[in-house]
Amino acid sequence: MRENGLNHEQDREQDAAPEFVYHGSLTPDIEKLEPRKRSTPGGVDHEAQPDLVYAGDHPAFAAAHAFPWDTREGFELSVEGDKVLFRVPEQLRDRLKVPVHIYKLSGEGFGPTAGEGTGHSFHVDHEVAPESVESFDDVQTAIENFGGVVEYYKREE
């Protein structure tokens, strides 16, 4: 089932995060991730979001969330098993040409994010110090480094 451009794994039971979760950001050298409102692709009211530290269970998924985008622009993010697919309108290809940083965090204390359709988002309500960070020249390189796929398509306007 697709929800907000994401695949929902209905049979996935998650009470806690995996051992490690990942946070994507445009900001280098973060010593502690602080709770903030999340930017949610798909039109969810940003101001209605609680201040939390958000992360995903797959680094390619986090890389796709490292920069601002919206499904209304034609971006589509899906997860099939362990494969992350990020579909991007050809006209918006240059938006991916920004340096991104993928922070690896301990999953301890993270819980599943309610109302998030993929089952791949987690959060905590306190500061978190990253265990490590990997930096990439652009979003596509980061996604592909972690086994994900970026696919460009011609969007009909």
pLDDT score for 1: 28
Type and span of the H or E element at 123: strand 121-124
Q: Average pLDDT by consecutive 10-residue portion of the chain (157 residues)?
A: 35 67 97 82 62 95 95 92 94 98 97 80 96 98 98 90
What is the rounded distance in angstroms from the CA atom of residue 128 to the CA atom of residue 46?
22
| Residue carrying the six token digits 């890389």 | 63
pLDDT at 3: 33
CB 24 within 8 A of CB 30: no
**Among the listed residues 117, 108, 110, the one whose alpha carbon sits nearest the alpha carbon of residue 61:** 117
Segments making up each domain of the chain, as ranges: 2-9+18-38+47-153
State residue 90 phi and psi, 5-degree precision.
Answer: -50, -40
- DSSP helix, strand, coil percent of the chain (3-state; round to 5): 15, 35, 50
**Class at the top of the CATH hierarchy for domain 2-9+18-38+47-153:** alpha beta
Looking at residue 10, the DSSP 8-state letter turns out to be: T
Instruction: Say what the pLDDT of residue 11 is.
Output: 34
Which strands, in side-by-side order, build the sheet including 149-153?
A: 76-80, 83-89, 149-153
Q: What is the pLDDT of residues 90-129, one digit of tens each?
A: 999 999 999 999 999 999 999 998 777 678 899 999 999 9
Per-residue pLDDT at 46:
55
How many CB atoms neighbour CB 50 within 10 A?
A: 11
How much is the pTM? 0.84
* pLDDT value at residue 102: 98
Closest CA to 81 of 9, 16, 139, 4: 9
